[in-house]
Structures are given as C-alpha cells and as structure tokens.
Amino acid sequence: MTDKKSNAMWGGRFAAGPDAIMEAINASIGYDKRLAFQDITGSRAHAAMLAAQGIITDTDAKTIREGLLTVLSEIESGTFEFSTALEDIHMNVESRLKEIVGEPAGRLHTARSRNDQVATDFKLWTRDQMDACIDGLEALIKALLGQAEAGADWVMPGFTHLQTAQPVTWGHHMMAYVEMLGRDVSRFKDARVRMNENPLGSAALAGTGFPIDRHMTSEALGFDRPTANSLDAVADRDFALEFLSCASITAMHLSRFSEELVIWSSAQFRFVTLSDRFSTGSSIMPQKKNPDAAELIRAKVGRIMGAMVALFTVMKGLPLAYSKDMQEDKEQVFDAADNLMLALAAMTGMVSDMTANVDSLRAAAASGFSTATDLADWLVREAGLPFRDAHHVTGALVALAESKGCDLPDLSLDEMKSAHAAITEGVYTVLTVENSVASRTSYGGTAPSQVRAQIARWKEVLG
C-alpha cells in the first residue's frame, strides 16, 4: 500500500512518487491521527447512507461498516501502523480498510472527497471539545461558588488601579469570575449552535451527481442540518476560529484570575494560601512556596491567542474553495484545546484547595481609607451636602488622618467637625468595613445579601 512509485489513492496520473521533502511537508498524519474516531464515524454514516440510497449494495455497506470498526479497534489498541506516505488519517484508514475487506473498500469514497471529509471530521472533533470546555468551565464555576458561599461576608479590599478603593466581600470577588466564566459558557454554546451543520456530501467543492441523502448523514452524526452551500462547506473554518476565539477569551479570564492569585499569595499580601498540591518549592530558597500553577495558567493565553491569530492568518486571503493551507488548522486547535482543558482543570483544583486568610483580608480592607466614600455618602444623606462638596470635606479628613498616621475612624468628633460642622457621632457607624459592605445592597452590589442572592441564582442555573 505504501508503494513509493506512485500513490495508491491517486497514483493513476502519477509516474513517480513524491520527493522525501514533499512527503514531509505534505503529510498531516503525525497529528491528524487524533481525528481517527471522527473519521471512522463519518465514514460509517456515509456508507450506510450510500446503501440506503441504492448507490452501493447493502452487503458492501455492511462489509465496509464492520471493517471500519476493525480499523478503529486497531487504532485504539495501538496496533495500527500509520504511514506517512499515506499522508493523512483519511487515506490511512481507507487503505487499511482495503487490506482488511478488499474490493468493497474502494466504494466508500463514492460521492465524497477528502475536502468534505476533513471538514466533517474536524467539526465533529471541535464540537466535542466545545462540550468538554463547557463541562470544564462549569466545574470551575462550581468551585468558585463554593468559595463564594463560604465567604459571602468576609471583607476584603476592592481595588481600582490596584489601589485600595472600597471594601468588598470575598464572595463578591469570587462571583465576579463566575459571571465572566458564565459568559464563556454561553459563548461556547452559541458557537456550537452555529457550527452544527454537516459538510459531508459537499464532495470536493460542487456537490455530487449521486442521489445522496445529506439529511440522513446529518442525523446520524448529530448535526442539525446539512450545510447549504458546498463551496462554503469545504472552505469554511469559522467553527475552528470561533472555538479559538472563545478559548482565547476564557484563557484571558483565567490569566487575570491567576495574576490575582499570584499577588494574593505573596508574603506582602497574604490574602490566600494555595495548597501544597498546587504549589512548588525552590531548589535554593527553602522558605519559598511558588504559585507555579497560577503562573502557568496566566501564560497559557499566549499560546491560545497565538493559535487564534495563526489560524486567522492562514485563512485570510484564501480563495474558494479548499486549499492545502487549511491543513494547518488542526495543530493550532489541538494545542489550544489541550492547554485550555489543562488550565481549567488546574484552576479548578487550585480554587477548590485554596484558603482565604480572613484576618489579613479584613485588615487590608480597613487600611487605605477604604471607607472614605461611605463618609462622603453619609454627608450627602445626613447633612444634605451636594456630593461634590461631601467629596471635598472627606478629602480634607483623609488628609488629616494621613498626616496623623491614623485611619478615618480614629479621628475624634472634634476633628471631624473641624472639616464640617454638620458631622455628628452617627458618622462612625458608616466607617466600619462591615457596615460599608452591608450597605451596598443595590442589585449586583457587594452586600452579603446581594452576593447570596447571586449564588442562589447560579446554583439554580447549574442545576
């Protein structure tokens, strides 16, 4: 089958076999062997349809379908010998089928081409990955909900510009990531709906004159319908680009969270302790416990976004319909999918295992004049000041506290009154971090009551 003189699959026109370098640049079997299951599933559906339409006999279809299962079991058990001379998974499978069942194997490729075949296989593979990413995201969301539930009322500093801004709750911060990852889930789900059309039967580019039933193969392969334009169907890799776009956004979210975990686990912050299971030591500094998993997840967005840019660049400018450039699609998607799944699993483990240091969080929340906005709001509410004036008065009190090296609640009532005569004893109640977060009950705000409502909503969504 691996006759060097001319290729067994298209040797009719060729007198000589390819140069070794040609074979090396042309072959995709080294990586597209990952499509074996999808290739065989697609071929089995195709053979059944050809028989149902009277294009091949039932006996041939049965022989082909059973032979394909034998090929699959050889691949799964590792006894299959992949051949570079046979270029790709499609020709490797068909060639082995011929060795096993003989002449009927040659009838399998009726009314199709490798162009619709590869589009179908790759779509089936990518669709499974979308489902796997959705599952991985939901597992991480559940881990975050666990953290949020435990710490719905733990107070920590909220930051803007990485400067202390206002106190927030740990639960609120965790739920911010739940929202981001929830959008990621819905993005993968949207993309899955859009991509779920069957290219098989588009043949090389123009469709076929054989009386095929594309609805039958669509149903057998779990597609919602056949694609409506054969040129588009074999030239389209939008589904792969959408997968990579969704994956890039998710990876970017994971990267942001990783960055926070790296900062939070430092000796300077001590907001969280990562478990030993997701940390590493240093070979030279015995005291070190490094957040390597978080750092690696932070980095994954580089290769995942890189894969997206690479495939966009491959696809831009390609004339219709299929061009061999498109063979460069698979490694990008494989690598991005593998790494995103790994990152999701590592993040889920890290989040489930990590311990929030509630005392450090609270102490940090109370420093940096984090309740200054509460003071300004109090002046608006209780003393009737316009917000801009209240902002000014509060600024003066912050400056006073800073010059004295104390926090806002440590200022005496006389000192408070020096900034504005309308200030009374009542102001002190709004200066504690607990009261600050409890007061922020606007929908989606950081108050524990709001956070608990959002946790309940998400639990219902996830079922």
The residues that touch ligand ARG, with contacts defined as CB under 6 A, are 28, 32, 88, 114-115, 118, 322, 324, 326-327
What are residue 225's DSSP bridge partners? 197
**Is 90 a catalytic site residue?**
no
- Catalytic residue, candidates 73, 266, 282, 367: 282
Closest CB to ligand ARG among residues 327, 446: 327
Least distance CB 234 / ligand ARG (angstroms) = 9
CB of 113 to ligand ARG, least distance (A): 7
Active site residue 161: yes
Query: Can you list the pairs that 236-240 forms with residues at least 24 positions away whose Cβ atoms lie under 8 Å?
Result: 236/119, 236/199, 237/122, 237/311, 237/315, 237/326, 237/329, 238/194, 238/195, 239/122, 239/123, 239/126, 239/127, 239/191, 239/194, 239/195, 240/122, 240/126, 240/311, 240/329, 240/332, 240/333
Contact 458, 450 (CB under 8 A): no
Question: Judging by beta carbons within 10 Å of its beta carbon (0-12, 13-18, 19+), is residue 196 exposed, middle or buried?
Answer: middle
Minimum CB distance to ligand ARG smaller for 327 or for 357: 327
Closer by beta carbon to ligand ARG, 87 or else 374: 87
Q: In angstroms, what is the minimal distance from the CB of 197 to ligand ARG? A: 19
In the set 161, 403, 412, 442, the catalytic residue is: 161
In the complex, minimum distance from the CB of residue 129 to ligand ARG, in angstroms, rounded to a whole number: 17
| Residue 9: CB minimum distance to ligand ARG, A | 10
Q: Which is nearer to ligand ARG, 92 or 166 (CB)?
A: 92
List of residues 6+ apart from 414 with CB closer than 8 A: none
Decide whether 6 or 275 has the Cβ nearer to ligand ARG: 6
DSSP secondary structure string, 101-170? H-GGGGGTTTT--HHHHHHHHHHHHHHHHHHHHHHHHHHHHHHHHHHHHHTTT-EEEEEETTEEEEEEEH
Q: Please list the active-site residues.
A: 161, 282
